[in-house]
Structure formats: structure tokens, C-alpha cells
Amino acid sequence: MSRARDIINRLEEVLMASLLALMTVLTALQVLLRYAFNTGLIWSLEATTYSFAWLVLLGMSYCVRTRTHIAVDLLVKQFNERKRKLLGILAIAVCLAYSLLMLHGSGMFVQRLYTLGHEARDLPFARWLLTIMLPLGFALLAWRFVQLGLSIWRGRVIGLGFVESAPAKLMAGQASQQGDIEQGPPQ
């Protein structure tokens, strides 16, 4: 299980970096072609748009895994550890419900695109193939919420957000990967 998790984590990171690089190169090339040669690539805007969508969908799960997403915990920090744990699990349940609803809806959307057989406007691909990242991204997000929920339940993680001293640990390369979710500071 640990090996599969490591492969998924690495694939997630490589895909995000590759998509960001592709978007940067395509945009720079388009600017160069347009202003230097008065021409351009017809398909670059659509390719950049789909790449950005894929990057956002992968980035959501990456931020949950690394606990770098936005979390407002000013009120939650006022409670004792037991209540914080309960609120964390409640928040995870809401986030997981959202992820599963989006997974279901996006799966239906992609299935309908597949049935209709629509092609992308400027890219030589079927639209369902370009939007398959919707259900995949929400499935990965749901999995990350399950992992975070289990880490909260087992007491390995304090809350949902990036807590004190965790950014410094991450920057120093000392962040823990136990359970695939970074831990909070010691109690």
C-alpha cells in the first residue's frame, strides 16, 4: 500500500509540474508568435485552458495531502483537543460529501460527453477525454479527505489547516509523511 501511495503522490507532483511547464511554454510561444511573427497557434488557448483545469483539480488534492490549503481555524483553536477533533471530523465529513457529489456529477457529465461524441473545438481529441480529469480529480480529493480524516481520528493530526511550525518543517524538508498527511506540532 505504501508503494502505491508513493507512486500516486509522485505522479500527482510530476503531473502538476508538467502541466505548469506546458502552460508556461505554450503561453510564451503564443506571445512570441503573435508579436514577433504576426501569427499564432489556434489550439494553444484551449490547450492552456484544459491544462489549467487539470492543474487546479490535481492541486486541490495536493493541498489537502500537504495541508497547505486555506483553513480558518481562529474559532476552532479556542476549543479543547477533543472538541477540535470532533469539529475536524465533522468538517472532513462535509468536505467528503462535497467531493463525492462532485465525483458523481462529473462522472455523469463525462459519460454524457462520451455518449454524444463531441470533439474539442481546436484540439484533435474527444471532449470526454479532456474532461476525464473532473471525476479523477474529485476521486483523488475524496481519497485525500479520507486520509486526513483517519489521521485526525487517530490523533496524528490536530486539524485541517497548516498549523504552527509546520511551514518551517516543510521548508526545511523535515515534514512527516506518516499516513501521507503532514503532522501538526507535538503536544
Rounded mean pLDDT of 163-177? 47
Rounded mean pLDDT of 135-142? 96
Identify whether 187 is part of a domain.
Answer: no
Distance CA 16, CA 55 (A): 6
pLDDT for the residue numbered 176: 46
Report the amino acid identity of residue 59: G
Share of the chain above pLDDT 70, in %: 84
Identify whether 107 is part of a domain.
Answer: yes
Identify whether 167 is part of a domain.
Answer: yes
Identify whether 92 is part of a domain.
Answer: yes
Q: Which range, of 52-61, 97-106, 178-187, averages the lowest pLDDT?
A: 178-187
Distance CA 140, CA 60 (A): 9
**Number of domains comprising the chain:** 1
165: confidence class by pLDDT, cuts 50, 70, 90: very low
Distance CA 104, CA 134 (A): 10
Domain extent, residue 116, equals 2-180
Q: How far apart, in Å, are the Cα atoms of 64 and each of 1, 156, 182?
A: 19, 15, 10
What is the pTM for the complete model shown? 0.81
Could you tell me which of 110, 112, 123, 101 has the C-alpha nearest to residue 51? 123
143: confidence class by pLDDT, cuts 50, 70, 90: very high
